[in-house]
Amino acid sequence: MNLIKLAKASCVSVLCIIISINSYAQPTANFTATPTSGCAPLLVNFTDQSTGNPTSWRWDLGNGTISQLQNASVVYFNPGQYSVKLKVLNAAGTDSIIRTQYINVYAKPTIEFSASAYAGCPPANISFTDLSTPGSGTNSSWNWDFGNGTSSNLQNPSIVYNNTGSYSITLLVTNSFGCTSALTKDTIIKITDKPVASFVNSSTANCGAPLTINFIDQSTGTGNLTYSWNFGDGTTSTDQNPSHTYLTTGSFSPKLIVYNQSGCSDTIIRTNSINIANNITMFTVNPTECANTPITITNSTTPNPINVFWDFGDGTTSTVSNPVKSYTTPGTYQIKMINNYGICMDSMTRTITVKAQPTAEFIASPLSSCYAPLTVHFTSSSANAVSYSWNFGDGGTSSLENPTHIYVRQGNFTVTLTTTAANGCTKTTTMSQYINIQLPVVSINELPQMGCAPFEWTFHHTVFGGDSIVSYHWNFGDGTTSNLQSPTHVFDSGVYNIVLVIVTSTGCTDTVTYVGGIKAGVRPHAAFIANPLNTCARYPVAFTDLSTPVTSITQWLWDFGDSTTSILQNPQHAYTDTGYFTIQLIAINNGCPDTLVVPDYIHIFPPIAKFKILFDCSERLKRTFIDSSIGA
């Protein structure tokens, strides 16, 4: 019989709730997260995308974090997969969504490595072995820093140390999920007692063969040194200070290897330091160009010089092999190229005439309007121009100096003018979105607003399109108006529709009405009772609003102390946990609130039946049931 009464009461309650929320839409929970995967610690921002205008949110982020913000954020410190639940509520009811294993947090690699040797003399060839574990996934990339300015992306690289010193080794490993870790072992590689190879050579004009060069050893090192020379033309020597004659043309790279008594060596190569050739210094450029126009200079020198220096004859220079030059002043200029081939240098000069460029300048009137057609007069103020080419941005063109153009449709139009001088030089000027023809569209910013009466608010607006605004007319819905651009008004208790009318300089108007834009209320007195105060879990507790004055309250916000809420005036709530619960009611009159909090008001007795199910992918048909009941 009790069950029948309870069922009847539940049906009546459900019917009441359906009747009370008949004018509201059932919410649908939905959300996204950014990012949904990454390396620990991982900061994830959750964005509520629920529909149905929910008024409260409860996030269970899977790591013990609960949030009641609309858009939650959390840092996942431990690797693993996390399921996320969002529960939303409005006057029509609740909805929830669970994204299972939605957030994936990956572990970083653990770094370790070894070396084939930890000491030597230059050049010391040392191999490194990666001993790292990936944490999550597999190791996918390696970044070694060998402490001598070199690096490698191989898993097990080798490096040659050419200088003495103590070197720290750093290995950074990235796994297949993009997680990285690094390990530095300080000064574990020690390279000592190495000779330093060095030499100088005499230089004479080397633009022709044969050429005799004297090489002078300047190497340093301990003990007796021995020498191995390679002159770059197939001949060698073991003398300390040899003399060598080059018999053919070309670029040669002499090399010296110095050995000490321990067998350590050092090598120096002076790449292409000796050049013996019939050099061709050559470049081409158009003999006439227009001012303020990029001029391409083509360098056809063979072979490539060590460096090149350009003098453009107007006080500017360049060291680029194929420079692009622009002259600002008309005139005749000498362009000189100087090639440095090492010991020998060569140069070439050409003359270029730079012609004057016209200007392309204009104004237009009018520049804006609300309506089409619009007749616009264009006036050119260009200098040195003999012909004109207009593009009005709507498909129309003209070759007149001062054309008149009729725009027959609304839009934003870019105008381009290209002028041509008598010498053939041109100049183009483009004015982006220069002509604007469109109706104004006005909107009122930051509405709706609500609060306790007297409620003061300063209004702002935004206008898109049209020409300049010449008047404003605000209607505050309480019988008062204003012609100010951004007026401030004080509202008595009530709900007000806000209206703004604007007028432009050409007589265009636009009106915007914000229904219920301002709500001002008198502060109520929040009060309530509940029955029963002591009951078992899952049995409904009826909450009765006693707030006054009853007729002035427009909203109720209940917090039942177990992370659930309600916006009903007289809700019922069944608890799914045990203990004492603090109840809060916020009574609101058009945005003016009063809050009542009663600590430990409701007491819920155990037990609560709960269980969870575990499974193992390796045994697809097996399930393990785990009791997690409370107070059983």
User: What are the mean pLDDT values of the chain's consecutive 10-residue runs (632 residues total)?
Assistant: 43 41 75 94 96 96 95 94 96 95 94 88 89 92 94 95 89 93 92 86 67 90 88 93 88 90 82 78 91 91 88 94 93 93 81 93 90 92 94 95 93 95 93 89 91 93 82 94 94 93 87 93 94 93 93 92 95 93 94 94 91 90 90 82
Report the distance separating Cα 120 and Cα 631, nearest Å: 71
Look at residue 274 in the predicted model and tell me its pLDDT. Answer: 83
Q: Which two tokens stand for residue 172?
A: 């950074």
Supply the pTM of this predicted model.
Answer: 0.40
Q: Are 115 and 190 contacting, i.e. CB atoms less than 8 angstroms apart?
A: no
C-beta of residue 191 within 8 angstroms of C-beta of residue 147: no
Dihedral sign, CA of 215, 220, 224, 227? negative
Whole-angstrom Cα distance, residue 163 to residue 122?
6
Say whether 3 sits in a helix, a strand or coil.
Answer: helix
Contact by Cβ (8 Å): 189, 166: yes
Return d(Cα 500, Cα 510) in angstroms, integer: 8
Residue 20 has what pLDDT?
42
Residue 607 CB contacts under 8 Å (≥ 6 apart), including other chains:
537, 578, 629, 630, 631, 632
Provide the phi-psi class of 101: left if phi over 0, else alpha when psi is between -120 and 50, else beta: left
